Chain A
Amino acid sequence: MKKECIAMLLAGGQGSRLYVLTGDMAKPAVPFGGKYRIIDFPLSNCTNSGIDTVGVLTQYRPLELNSYIGSGQPWDLDGSTGGVHILPPYQGSKGGTWYKGTANAIYQNIGFIDLYDPEYVVILSGDHIYKMDYSDMVKRHEEANAACTISVMEVPWSEASRFGIMAVDGDDMITEFAEKPKEPKSNLASMGIYVFSWKALRKYLTEDEADPNSENDFGKNVIPAMLNNGERMAAYRFSGYWKDVGTLESLWDANMDMLSPESGLDLADESWPIYARSVNAPPTYMGQDARVTHSAINRGSTLEGTVENSVLSPSVTVGKGARVSYSVLMPGTVVEPGAVVEYAILGENCRIGADSHVGGTPESAEEGTWGLTVLAPNCTVESGRQVRPGVMLGRNGEEVSK
C-alpha cells in the first residue's frame, strides 16, 4: 500500500530525568495535563495533519505504552490501510539487538517503512508538548526540494547554547549544524522533528549502520553526514508553543502553562483537538465546601477541599479540609482530609495520609534547597508525615536521591 507520507515516533526513551515517574513506564506514557499522556500530542498531531500511518518505536518498559495505544482508535489511527503500529526491537534469523540509537531504531525498521513505499518519512519524538501541522512542514520540504527538513524555533540567544543550533542562508536552507555550541551562530534551535525523503534517508541509514564508529544517532551522525555531503537541508520555522518535558521542572511548567491559554498552549481549541484514551467514570463531583480555582479537573474525581493552581487527572480525591496548590496530581491520587500538597508532582494512585504535608512553597525552604516534591506512582504518605520541598519518594515511601 503506497503512502505519500508516514510518521515514525521514537518512544523508546527511558526518560531518566523524570526519575521515579518513569520507574515503570516509558516517558511518552507519562500523564500530562490532566487527561492526556505525552504521546497524545504527536499522535493527535499526526491524525490532524492527515498522516494515517504511524510506527511507534518502543523499547524501555513498553507495557503501559502498548496498552495505552491499543488499536489506536482514540486517535483515529485504526484504519484498515495503515494505522498505528508498535515496533519493538526483534530477533531476526541472524539474532537481534536493542535499538542502539535513534537512527538505528529507524534502520531496523526499514522493512516496515518499505511496506508503504512512502515519498516522505516524518521522524517524531515522544517527549514534546506542542501542536503542529506536519503537512505544512512536508509542504515546505517539497517546495524546497530538500532531502531533509528540520523544524526549528527561535530561542532566546542566552539559551541557544543548550540546543542543537542551525545556521541558515537567505532561503532558510541549513548551512551549518552545531550541537550545543559555545558560541552559537544563530538562535534557531532544532525541535527534534525531521522530514526526510525516504530514498535519501534509506541510503544514509544504510551507510551509517556500516560505520562502526557511529553512534547511530540522527543529531550526532546522520544529519551531519547529510550536510557534509551537500544534501539540500531546509529549515521549517515553527512559532507556536513547544516544550520538551524531559525534566521534572519542565513537566511541571508545561502543566501550569496549560492552565493559562496565554502561554500558547490552548487545549480547549477544537480546531486542533488533542485526543486521549479516556477512562470511563462519572463526572466530577465538587462538594459543599469545595473551593477550586485556576485549576483543571477531570472525570471520576471527588473534590471536597481546596484546589488552587493545580492540574488534576481523572479519579482524584481531595478530602475535606485538604489543600492542593501548585501541584500536578496524576490519575487515582487520593489526598485525605486535612492534608496539604504544595509544589508537588504526585504519580498515579498515590495516597496522601490525613494531616500530612507534602512539599512547600519556595519561600518556605532554606536558601538554595527548594525544589519540587515528587512522589513515585503508588506511593503512600502516612498520616501526619512531613515531606520537605525538593524530596523525592519511591513507591514504598522511601526517600530517593536525584
Chain B
Amino acid sequence: MNGLHGIIFSYEKRNNLRELGEIRSAASIPFGGRYRVVDFALSNLVNAGVTDVGVVLNGRYQSMLDHLGTGKVWDLSRKRGGLRVLPPFNYQKDWGVMPFRGKIEALAGVRTYLDTIRQDYVALMDGDLVVNLPLADIFEEHVKSGADVTVVCGNDSFATEDGTYFEKNSEGRITEVLYNLHTPRGYRGLEVYILSTQLLKDLVDECAAKDQFSWRKELQTRKDSLYLRSYIWSGFAAQIRSVQEYYDRSMQLLNPAIRAELFCPERPIRAKGADKSSTYLGPEGKCVNSLVAEGCRIEGTVENSILFPGVVVEAGAVVRNCVLFKETVVRRDAQLSYIIADKDVEVLSNRTLMGHATYPIVLAKGSKV
C-alpha cells in the first residue's frame, strides 16, 4: 500500500456532448476503439500503485455502474480498500435531482467516506480526462516539494469547454487561477490535484460551512496562503467535454507518436475485454489509417476511422473520418463521413450521411438510419 488515495469525479456538468451525453456521463463515453474515458483515470491511479479509489457519481450513472462492476478489471476488487462507488447517498439537497455545483459540494456529499481514507494523500481526478500521467513521479515530487497542493496542467494549444487555467512563476508556484475566460491563457488545468487527506477534509468542512461549493474558486481565494505548485505535463491530455473535442481528440489517436505515448507499455491502460472473435477483413475489404477493435467484419472501405468492437461494414460501404461505437452496422453501399455513431446504430443500404470536420454528426444510440 502506498500513501496515495484516488478520488474520481463523475457527476453531470454543463457540457456540449449532445447525444453522446444524453444517456451517460462523460466518464463512461467510449473512447479510442475499446476504452471508456474513465479507464484512463483508473489506470493512471492503479499504475501509480494506488490501491483504493473512490468514484463520486451523480446523475445518469447507470452506464458507469455497469462499466465499473466490482473493479476487477483494474485489480480494484480487494478485501480491504479497492473500488468504492459513491452515489450521492449523503447529499443534503434533493436526492439525485440537483446536480453537484462543484467538486467541494461533491466531496461534502460523501463526507463520511473521506474519514475512511487510509492514506495520507489524495489524488483528485476528473472522469472526463484522457491521459497517461506518470502519477507515481508526480506524487513523489509533491511530497518532496512540500507543496500544499500539486496542480497538474497540460501544455498544448487545445482549449477545453469550461476549462480552468493557471499562471505560474518561474519556480512553478501558481500565481493565478482563471476560468470563464473568453480567450484562454496560462496553462490548461487537467483537474488533477494531489494534496494531503487532512487538508482536503479541512477545506471541505470550511467551505461546506459557508456554502462554498467550487474547488477552483477556493484555490483562487487561497492562492497566496497555500503553496499551490504546478506540474506541467507536455504530453497528450484530452478533456472530453464537447462533441468537437471528442472528435478531434479521437482523430489524434491515428498519430503513431500520440498512441505510443498514451498506450505506453510501462503504464498500460486497462479496459474490459469484449469476448468477441478476431476481426475479419473480407477479400474486397480495405482498411487504412484506422484503429480497429476486435469482432469487426469489414467487407467495404474504411479510412481514417476508429472502429469499436463488433462493427460491421458491408461490401461497397465507405466509411471515412468516422468513429463507430460498438456493434454499429453499415449496410451495403452506404457512405459515411465525419460521423460519430453511438452503440447499436444501423445505417441502411445506400444511405449517405456527411458531417464535417468542424461539425461531426452524432447518431444517437440504437438509431436506425
Which A residues lie at the B interface, using CB under 8 A? 33-35, 74, 258-259, 267-268, 273-275, 278, 280-299, 311-312
Question: Once the chains bind, are B290 and A285 in contact (CB under 8 Å)?
Answer: yes
Chain A CB count within 10 A is highest, among B279, B286, B289, for: B279
Q: How far is the CA of A296 from the CA of B282 in the complex (A)?
A: 9
Question: Once the chains bind, are B288 and A283 in contact (CB under 8 Å)?
Answer: no
Q: Which of B276, B281, B291 is in CB contact (< 8 Å) with A294?
A: B281
- Is B268 among interface residues, defined by CB-CB distance under 8 A? yes
Those of B277-333 within 8 Å (CB) of chain A? 277-295, 297, 306-307
Residues of A within 8 A of B275 (CB): 273, 275
Given A33-B278, A296-B279, 14 additional A-B pairs, CB 8 A? A74-B273, A267-B277, A268-B276, A268-B297, A278-B273, A282-B32, A282-B263, A285-B291, A286-B289, A291-B286, A292-B285, A296-B278, A298-B294, A312-B278
- Is B271 among interface residues, defined by CB-CB distance under 8 A? yes
- A284 in contact with B288 given A267-B278, A274-B277 (CB within 8 Å): no
- Is B368 among interface residues, defined by CB-CB distance under 8 A? no
- Is B33 among interface residues, defined by CB-CB distance under 8 A? yes
Q: How far is the CA of A64 from the CA of B236 in the complex (A)?
A: 37
Q: How far is the CA of A288 from the CA of B286 in the complex (A)?
A: 11
Q: How far is the CA of A74 from the CA of B275 in the complex (A)?
A: 9
Residues of A within 8 A of B281 (CB): 292-295, 297
Residues of A within 8 A of B295 (CB): 268
- A259 in contact with B280 given A284-B292, A286-B292, A292-B285 (CB within 8 Å): yes
- Is B5 among interface residues, defined by CB-CB distance under 8 A? no
Question: Once the chains bind, are B277 and A295 in contact (CB under 8 Å)?
Answer: no
- A283 in contact with B292 given A290-B287, A291-B286, A299-B34 (CB within 8 Å): yes
Q: How far is the CA of A280 from the CA of B72 in the complex (A)?
A: 14
Question: Once the chains bind, are A282 and B34 in contact (CB under 8 Å)?
Answer: yes
**Nearest Cβ distance between residue B288 and chain A, in whole angstroms?**
6
**Nearest Cβ distance between residue A262 and chain B, in whole angstroms?**
13
Residues of B within 8 A of A268 (CB): 276-277, 280, 295, 297
- A294 in contact with B283 given A33-B278, A35-B278, A267-B278 (CB within 8 Å): yes
Q: How far is the CA of A256 from the CA of B49 in the complex (A)?
A: 43
Residues of B within 8 A of A281 (CB): 263, 268
Q: How far is the CA of A299 from the CA of B280 in the complex (A)?
A: 12
Q: How far is the CA of A284 from the CA of B282 in the complex (A)?
A: 16
Residues of B within 8 A of A311 (CB): 278
* 23 CB < 8 A contacts A-B: A33-B278, A35-B294, A268-B295, A273-B275, A280-B268, A283-B32, A283-B291, A283-B292, A285-B259, A285-B290, A285-B292, A286-B289, A287-B288, A291-B286, A294-B282, A294-B283, A296-B280, A297-B278, A297-B281, A298-B278, A298-B279, A299-B34, A299-B293
Question: Once the chains bind, are B34 and A283 in contact (CB under 8 Å)?
Answer: yes
Residues of A within 8 A of B188 (CB): none
- Cβ-closest chain A residue relative to B284: A293
Question: Once the chains bind, are A286 and B290 in contact (CB under 8 Å)?
Answer: yes
What is the interface of chain B mostly: helix, strand, loop, or mixed? loop
Residues of B within 8 A of A274 (CB): 277
Interface residues in B, total, Cβ within 8 A: 36
Residues of B within 8 A of A278 (CB): 273
Residues of B within 8 A of A291 (CB): 286
Q: How far is the CA of A3 from the CA of B288 in the complex (A)?
A: 52
Question: Once the chains bind, are B32 and A288 in contact (CB under 8 Å)?
Answer: no
Chain A CB count within 10 A is highest, among B270, B282, B306, for: B282
Q: How far is the CA of A13 from the CA of B271 in the complex (A)?
A: 34
Q: How far is the CA of A34 from the CA of B294 in the complex (A)?
A: 11
The 10 closest A-B pairs by CB, nearest first: A283-B33, A34-B278, A296-B278, A267-B277, A283-B293, A282-B263, A283-B291, A278-B273, A294-B283, A292-B281
- Cβ-closest chain B residue relative to A299: B294
Those of B237-290 within 8 Å (CB) of chain A? 254, 256, 259, 263, 268-271, 273, 275-290
**Nearest Cβ distance between residue B130 and chain A, in whole angstroms?**
13
**Nearest Cβ distance between residue A332 and chain B, in whole angstroms?**
12
Question: Once the chains bind, are A286 and B288 in contact (CB under 8 Å)?
Answer: yes
Q: Which of B270, B277, B282 is in CB contact (< 8 Å) with A293?
A: B282
Q: How far is the CA of A288 from the CA of B288 in the complex (A)?
A: 5
Q: Which of B285, B290, B291 is in CB contact (< 8 Å) with A282?
A: B291
Residues of A within 8 A of B284 (CB): 293
Residues of A within 8 A of B278 (CB): 33-35, 258, 267, 296-298, 311-312
Q: Which of A290, A293, A296, A299 is in CB contact (< 8 Å) with B283?
A: A293
Question: Once the chains bind, are B287 and A292 in contact (CB under 8 Å)?
Answer: yes
Question: Once the chains bind, are B288 and A280 in contact (CB under 8 Å)?
Answer: no
Question: Once the chains bind, are A286 and B287 in contact (CB under 8 Å)?
Answer: yes
Question: Once the chains bind, are B263 and A295 in contact (CB under 8 Å)?
Answer: no
Q: How far is the CA of A297 from the CA of B290 in the complex (A)?
A: 13
- Cβ-closest chain B residue relative to A275: B275
- Cβ-closest chain A residue relative to B282: A294
- A280 in contact with B271 given A35-B277, A285-B256 (CB within 8 Å): yes
Question: Once the chains bind, are A290 and B288 in contact (CB under 8 Å)?
Answer: yes
Residues of B within 8 A of A283 (CB): 32-34, 291-294, 306-307
Question: Once the chains bind, are A297 and B279 in contact (CB under 8 Å)?
Answer: yes
Residues of A within 8 A of B280 (CB): 259, 268, 295-296
Q: How far is the CA of A297 from the CA of B278 in the complex (A)?
A: 6
Residues of B within 8 A of A288 (CB): 288-289
Contact with A along B21-40 (1 / 0, CB 8 A): 00000000000111000000
Question: Once the chains bind, are A284 and B277 in contact (CB under 8 Å)?
Answer: no
Q: How far is the CA of A267 from the CA of B284 in the complex (A)?
A: 21
Residues of A within 8 A of B259 (CB): 282, 285
**Nearest Cβ distance between residue A251 and chain B, in whole angstroms?**
16
Q: How far is the CA of A274 from the CA of B294 in the complex (A)?
A: 14
Residues of B within 8 A of A296 (CB): 277-280
**Nearest Cβ distance between residue B234 and chain A, in whole angstroms?**
21
Residues of A within 8 A of B276 (CB): 268
- Cβ-closest chain B residue relative to A274: B277
Chain B CB count within 10 A is highest, among A258, A268, A281, A296, for: A268
**Nearest Cβ distance between residue A26 and chain B, in whole angstroms?**
23
Residues of A within 8 A of B297 (CB): 268
Q: How far is the CA of A375 from the CA of B289 in the complex (A)?
A: 30
Q: How far is the CA of A285 from the CA of B290 in the complex (A)?
A: 6
**Nearest Cβ distance between residue A284 and chain B, in whole angstroms?**
5
Residues of B within 8 A of A33 (CB): 277-278
Residues of B within 8 A of A297 (CB): 278-279, 281, 292
- Cβ-closest chain A residue relative to B280: A296
- Cβ-closest chain B residue relative to A300: B263
**Nearest Cβ distance between residue A198 and chain B, in whole angstroms?**
32
Q: How far is the CA of A224 from the CA of B341 in the complex (A)?
A: 61
Question: Once the chains bind, are A284 and B289 in contact (CB under 8 Å)?
Answer: no
